[in-house]
């Protein structure tokens, strides 16, 4: 069997034109998010591709026009051998109207050793390589002992978490590899949560009353919610600096955990004292923290800030955290993911990379976020491993190196084979 696997790995290079052609096919599907609701055709292609390779298909709409596709290839001895999820997202970053693409974002170009097109790096390259690995195994008649689950999900670019919906639907495995942009590093990630902080007055006042609530003897207990939000923002800056001093994580520069006051909305009319102000914040946190934890820290801190202000004491800030879509409800969550370098699957992925690439594997942390955190949140060990780099992700003339795409496909082919041929540990709970 090892000889057969070596032959398949060689075929990746020998048939790289087919691999590149598959990536070109995926790029031609116009799946930017926003606007989203446009992945049906692409996802049906994935479903048909996997069904032809013997996978049982589960396809359902997460949003109208945006279905998830999950293919399950049952192993020959599922109860005794490790199972694997291969996960990637079909949506790609939005495209601006006047961006100077060489041809067009969905008209792929192959030249000088790269494939150019929206999604080449983030992350249709990862999907293409994974699909090609599946194709080669199928053509060779390889029957895997362990289960292989392929997830092509929607919504990653806008926080719609198609991967979370897969977890909710009950899909589990002994390990998951998220084939998103990692430059062939094996990565964990920090997390992101957005939130709204609202300062709201119980009463509404004409702007002609401002003097009475500001100056001596006015005896009107009122305030501008916009001005009080300035104290809230200052409190967030103080907490952000405290985190930068007191928190750290290997692989991250100090101060990577940030609280960004991204959007502010307040007031209703120039003839009113502002009776409400809403602040939209984006919080980045480390892999060893949870989004629930950091949200509690922020709430506790800002409620203490409010206690130091006579008006905010009676009108404390209100909080809304996360959301299921940046499009639908202006909120998102990306949980963090810690990678255990001693986990048997991570060791197997390291071994596959070093055997194929002939260089030491790098296990580190992504400076960005992916759907990988949803596996960690669900208790499924996982890692991010894919072609492409963040300099090209979301960029005009986005591109991926063909050489790296070929290497990645070889590694993933070997890893799928090796992991699903590895006997389960006695305490494994997929």
Where in the sequence numbering do the catalytic residues fall?
Answer: 91, 156
State the Cα–Cα distance between residues 77 and 113, nearest whole angstrom.
41
Burial 59-89 (b: 16+ CB within 10 A, else e): beebbeebbbbbbbbebeebeebbbbbbbbb
State the Cα–Cα distance between residues 395 and 128, nearest whole angstrom.
19
- Beta bridge pairs of residue 56: 72
Residue 304: Cβ within 10 Å count: 10
Three-state DSSP class for residue 177: strand
Q: Which helix H or strand E contains 143, and what residues bound it? A: none
Q: Which helix H or strand E contains 89, and what residues bound it? A: strand 84-89
State the Cα–Cα distance between residues 347 and 352, nearest whole angstrom.
9
State the Cα–Cα distance between residues 213 and 115, nearest whole angstrom.
63
> What sections of 204-251 are H helices per DSSP?
210-214, 225-246
Nearest to 390 by CA among 121, 159, 119: 121
CB contact set of 305 (below 8 Å; sequence gap of 6+): 231, 232, 234, 235, 312
State the Cα–Cα distance between residues 388 and 126, nearest whole angstrom.
8
Handedness of CA 345, 370, 385, 336 (dihedral sign): negative
Task: At 406, list the tokens.
Answer: 């070929």
């Amino acid at each position: 069997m090892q000889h057969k696997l070596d032959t398949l790995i060689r075929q990746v290079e020998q048939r790289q034109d087919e691999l590149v052609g598959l990536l070109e096919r995926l790029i031609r599907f116009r799946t930017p998010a926003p606007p989203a609701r446009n992945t049906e055709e692409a996802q049906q292609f994935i479903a048909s591709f996997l069904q032809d390779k013997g996978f049982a298909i589960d396809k359902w709409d997460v949003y109208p026009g945006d279905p998830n596709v999950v293919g399950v290839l049952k192993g020959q001895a599922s109860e005794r051998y490790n199972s694997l999820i291969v996960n990637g997202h079909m949506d790609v970053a939005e495209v601006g109207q006047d961006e100077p693409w060489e041809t067009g974002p969905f008209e792929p170009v192959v030249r000088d050793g790269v494939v150019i097109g929206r999604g080449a790096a983030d992350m249709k390259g990862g999907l293409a390589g994974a699909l090609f690995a599946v194709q080669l195994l199928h053509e060779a008649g390889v029957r895997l002992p362990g289960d292989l689950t392929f997830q092509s999900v929607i919504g990653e670019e806008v926080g719609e978490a198609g991967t979370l919906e897969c977890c909710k639907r009950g899909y589990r495995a002994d390990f998951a590899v998220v084939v998103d942009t990692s430059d062939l590093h094996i990565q964990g990630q920090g997390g992101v949560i957005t939130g709204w902080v609202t300062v709201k007055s119980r009463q509404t006042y004409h702007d002609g009353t401002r003097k009475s609530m500001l100056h001596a003897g006015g005896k009107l207990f009122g305030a501008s919610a916009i001005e009080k939000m300035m104290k809230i923002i200052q409190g967030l800056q103080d907490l952000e600096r405290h985190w930068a001093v007191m928190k750290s994580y290997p692989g991250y520069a100090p101060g990577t955990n940030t609280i960004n006051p991204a959007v502010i909305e307040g007031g209703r009319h120039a003839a009113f004292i502002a009776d409400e102000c809403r602040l939209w914040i984006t919080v980045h946190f480390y892999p060893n923290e949870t989004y629930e934890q950091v949200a509690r820290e922020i709430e506790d801190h800002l409620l203490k800030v409010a206690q130091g202000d006579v008006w905010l004491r009676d009108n404390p800030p209100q909080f809304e955290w996360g959301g299921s879509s940046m499009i639908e409800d202006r909120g998102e969550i990306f949980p963090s993911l810690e990678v255990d370098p001693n986990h048997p699957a991570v060791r197997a992925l390291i071994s596959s990379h070093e055997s194929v690439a002939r260089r030491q594997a790098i296990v580190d942390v992504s400076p960005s976020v992916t759907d990988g955190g949803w596996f960690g949140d669900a208790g499924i060990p996982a890692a991010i491993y894919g072609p492409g780099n963040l300099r090209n992700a979301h960029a005009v003339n986005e591109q991926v190196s063909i050489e790296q795409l070929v290497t990645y496909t070889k590694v993933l082919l070997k890893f799928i084979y090796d992991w699903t041929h590895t006997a389960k540990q006695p305490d494994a709970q997929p």
